[in-house]
């Protein structure tokens, strides 16, 4: 079982590795990065997120992560993040609606699901 480690401890290693060993045609999948330091997928993804928070041009796609060297290489990653924001926003709105509906009806969540058994 891979260890879940503090992503701060691995972000610099991941950055250097991606800079030196990846490009748009040779991305690195999380599994490869995990194996280098015996860390979890969660640690890899959190470290990549921290690198992006620092402004590092880490791109990703179905084939893995890579260090982008052109603006065009970042576009698909930016588009994917925008799509994920839209999905999360929609889900948040739906949950707020469910919460409000629960507050309007005496009995809360129990009454929200009463039609399921009919």
Predicted confidence (pLDDT) per residue in 53-105, tens digit: 999 999 999 999 999 999 999 999 999 999 999 999 999 999 999 988 888 87
Assess whether 7 and 46 both reside in one domain. Answer: yes
How far is 69 from 86, CA to CA, in rounded Å? 27
How far is 22 from 76, CA to CA, in rounded Å? 17
Q: For the chain, list the strands marked E by DSSP.
A: 58-61, 64-67
Assess whether 98 and 40 both reside in one domain. Answer: no
Assess whether 42 and 10 both reside in one domain. Answer: yes
Assess whether 38 and 89 both reside in one domain. Answer: no
Question: If pLDDT is split at 50, 70 and 90, which confidence band does 107 have?
Answer: low
Assess whether 52 and 97 both reside in one domain. Answer: no
Number of domains in the chain: 2
Assess whether 65 and 75 both reside in one domain. Answer: no
CATH of the domain at 35: 1.10.10.10
How far is 53 from 46, CA to CA, in rounded Å? 10
Q: Is 50 left (phi over 0), alpha (psi -120 to 50) or beta?
A: alpha
How far is 44 from 66, CA to CA, in rounded Å? 13
How far is 13 from 29, CA to CA, in rounded Å? 15
Assess whether 74 and 109 both reside in one domain. Answer: yes
Domain that holds residue 78: 70-118
How far is 36 from 14, CA to CA, in rounded Å? 9
Assess whether 75 and 109 both reside in one domain. Answer: yes
Question: If pLDDT is split at 50, 70 and 90, which confidence band does 114 have?
Answer: low
What pTM did the predictor assign?
A: 0.80
Predicted confidence (pLDDT) per residue in 3-54, tens digit: 678 999 999 999 999 999 999 999 999 999 999 999 999 999 999 999 999 9
């Amino acid at each position: 079982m891979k260890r879940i480690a503090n992503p701060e401890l691995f972000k610099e290693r991941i950055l250097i590795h991606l800079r030196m060993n990846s490009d748009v045609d040779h991305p690195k999948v999380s599994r490869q990065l995990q194996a280098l330091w015996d860390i979890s997928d969660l640690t890899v993804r959190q470290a990549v997120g921290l690198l992006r928070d620092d402004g590092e041009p880490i791109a990703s796609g179905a084939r893995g992560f890579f260090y982008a060297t052109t603006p065009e290489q970042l576009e698909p990653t930016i588009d994917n993040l925008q799509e994920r924001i839209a999905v999360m926003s929609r889900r948040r709105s739906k949950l707020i609606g469910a919460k409000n509906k629960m507050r309007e009806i005496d009995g809360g969540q129990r009454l929200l699901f009463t039609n399921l058994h009919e």
